[in-house]
Chains A and B, each alone.
Chain A
């Protein structure tokens, strides 16, 4: 199971773009990269998932280099409401949903 490493915390200001990088050196060929967001007093919420290159949705973009040993979650023009914990997970079709591991995540604090 691929282990992930991400910064413990980050600060930003409203209106800035925030990039959170996750390292996963042992990612397997069939593994996908998935990001979740967790607000205080709520359960984690799926944000975005990708396998390679770039994925974009209405919330964020996910950049994955060719070697797939890292990935970057990009949040455009953050607002105060983007203050949350962001988790990076790696897993594939044969990993088993029960083996996905939520580490401590990255605490993003957006300031006015």
Chain B
């Protein structure tokens, strides 16, 4: 049982390049999330998907787009990467349909992204 799988694990981009981060979960969860974590900081929510076919902005959505491809997969796209987007990106999923702040979230191991 893999849980939440993120690819790639590491990536270096140049300013202005685009890239898609991939995330897949095999727990049949309904909700999925993308977070970023900067050094020494907590996690900040970028986008979330409360159910298949829906996506909504989180706390820091600027510069990102997402696609909930199907129930399993939720991708995050940087259209024109900027140095300020250098961070570790985490994908997570939870069982409920977006509601349920008490629903435990299951996280992947992150994508470490550096933008030069």
Which residues of B sit under 8 angstroms from A99, Cβ to Cβ? 101
Q: Secondary structure of the B side of the interface? A: loop
Which residues of B sit under 8 angstroms from A95, Cβ to Cβ? 99-102
B104→A34 contact, CB < 8 A? yes
Give chain B interface residues in 25-59, CB to chain A under 8 Å: 31, 33, 35, 40-45, 48, 50, 56, 58
Q: How many angstroms from the CA of A44 to the CA of B4 in the assembled complex?
A: 12
Which residues of B sit under 8 angstroms from A41, Cβ to Cβ? 109-110
A100→B105 contact, CB < 8 A? yes
A97→B48 contact, CB < 8 A? yes
Q: How many angstroms from the CA of A95 to the CA of B106 in the assembled complex?
A: 18
Which residues of B sit under 8 angstroms from A83, Cβ to Cβ? none
B110→A103 contact, CB < 8 A? no
Which residues of B sit under 8 angstroms from A36, Cβ to Cβ? 105
- Measured as residues with beta carbon below 8 angstroms from the partner, the interface class of chain A is 20 to 34
A31→B4 contact, CB < 8 A? no
B104 to chain A, nearest CB (A): 4
A43→B101 contact, CB < 8 A? no
The answer, among A42, A45, A91, A98, for a CB contact under 8 Å with B33, is A98
Q: How many angstroms from the CA of A86 to the CA of B23 in the assembled complex?
A: 24
Give chain A interface residues in 94-112, CB to chain B under 8 Å: 94-105
Name B's A-contacting residues (CB within 8 A). Answer: 4, 31, 33, 35, 40-45, 48, 50, 56, 58, 90, 92, 94, 96, 98-110
For this complex, 28 residue pairs linking A to B, each with C-beta atoms less than 8 Å apart, are: A41-B109, A43-B92, A43-B107, A44-B105, A46-B105, A46-B106, A87-B42, A91-B101, A91-B102, A92-B100, A92-B101, A93-B100, A93-B102, A94-B101, A95-B99, A95-B101, A95-B102, A96-B100, A96-B101, A97-B33, A97-B105, A98-B45, A98-B98, A99-B101, A100-B101, A100-B105, A102-B35, A104-B42
